[in-house]
Amino acid sequence: DTAVSQTPKYLVTQMGNDKSIKCEQNLGHDTMYWYKQDSKKFLKIMFSYNNKELIINETVPNRFSPKSPDKAHLNLHINSLELGDSAVYFCASRQTSGGGEQYFGPGTRLTVT
Amino acid sequence: DQQVKQNSPSLSVQEGRISILNCDYTNSMFDYFLWYKKYPAEGPTFLISISSIKDKNEDGRFTVFLNKSAKHLSLHIVPSQPGDSAVYFCAASASGGTSYGKLTFGQGTILTVHP
């Protein structure tokens, strides 16, 4: 059973479009994260939700909006996509009362043309 | 400003030998350190971690060493196996405050283990 899953795995779209990436975890964790891995392979935090509440919001354009309908889901909606948004986006989850390790999904490769 | 650095982009070792991956950090607030392994087209997989109250943590073939005064940690894999070939990421976090477990990653080291 997949612990952290993301859909879709690949997403190719044109500039200006709006798209969403979905993330679900079945680990019972209370905190979820979105990371972006850019072309230089750096993994950088974007957002974090704890029990559906936004707790981390790094310097990310307003075009990116996370939404957490419940503890097990954290979706990422991106408006007006730009070429520079092309990257791999990883979802992760963690139990705050547990160890510090986070468990990652398989990633969504977004290509904006 | 890159707070976690892995200065070796790649490392090549022979099967059965020791692999040593290094990581340096600059933020003295970091008190928890992790190593992740990543295969192509997959997400990072947690390997091993260490708290700043320790200087060594061992799990099977994997050992992480922490030198707080030098702000340096290393991952030792012994013996190395071809299946260990992957990208290894070092990560760090600071407890308390507003960190909320945010991980700061290094840029990764590609490990290749030759049969």
Tens-place pLDDT, residues A54-80: 888 887 889 999 999 999 999 999 999
**Can you give the pLDDT at residue B97?**
57
The letter for the amino acid at B19 is S
In angstroms, what CA-CA distances link B30 with A86, B36, B62, B99?
30, 17, 22, 10
List of chain B residues whose C-beta atoms are within 8 Å of the C-beta of residue A90: 43-44
Torsion of CA A52, A55, A61, A67, to 10 degrees: 0
Tell me the per-residue pLDDT of B24-71, one tens digit each, with 9 for 90 and over: 999 999 999 999 999 999 999 999 999 999 999 999 999 999 999 999
**Can you give the pLDDT at residue A1?**
65
**Can you give the pLDDT at residue A59?**
76
**Can you give the pLDDT at residue B96?**
64
Q: What is the mean pLDDT of chain B?
A: 94
Mean predicted confidence (pLDDT) in A17-37: 95
**Can you give the pLDDT at residue B98?**
58
**Can you give the pLDDT at residue B101?**
80
List of chain B residues whose C-beta atoms are within 8 Å of the C-beta of residue A42: 105, 107
Range of lowest pLDDT (A91-105, B37-51, B82-96): A91-105
Pair of tokens at residue B36? 């992740």
**Can you give the pLDDT at residue B99?**
63
Question: Is the pLDDT confidence value at B103 over 70?
Answer: yes
* Cβ–Cβ below 8 Å for B34 and A44: no
Contact A27, B71 (CB under 8 A): no
Buried b / exposed e along B80-97 (16+ C-beta atoms within 10 A): beeebbbbbbbbbbbeee
List of chain B residues whose C-beta atoms are within 8 Å of the C-beta of residue A31: 100-101
Give, as one character, the DSSP assignment of residue B61. Answer: T
Contact A81, A18 (CB under 8 A): yes
Mean predicted confidence (pLDDT) in A89-107: 89
In the structure, what pLDDT confidence band is assigned to residue B3 with cuts at 50, 70 and 90? very high
List of chain B residues whose C-beta atoms are within 8 Å of the C-beta of residue A96: 100-101
Nearest to A48 among B87, B95, B102 (CB): B102
In angstroms, what CA-CA distances link A67 with A19, A53, B37, B45, B100?
13, 9, 28, 25, 18
Question: Is the pLDDT confidence value at B112 over 90?
Answer: yes
Question: Is the pLDDT confidence value at A36 over 90?
Answer: yes
Pair of tokens at residue B20? 């040593």
Range of lowest pLDDT (A11-15, A58-62, B109-113): A58-62
Question: Is the pLDDT confidence value at A28 over 70?
Answer: yes
Angle at A44 between CA B42 and CA B35, to 5 degrees: 60
Give, as one character, the DSSP assignment of residue B96. Answer: S
| Interface-testing mutation among B102, B104, B109, with chain A (most A C-beta atoms within 10 A) | B102
Nearest to A100 among B43, B49, B108 (CB): B49
Q: Report d(CA A5, CA A47) in Å as an integer.
A: 17
Give, as one character, the DSSP assignment of residue B83. Answer: G
Contact B67, B55 (CB under 8 A): yes
Q: What is the mean pLDDT of chain A?
A: 92
Nearest to B71 by CA among B42, B18, B31, B107: B31
Q: What are residue B53's phi and psi, to 5 degrees? A: -80, -5
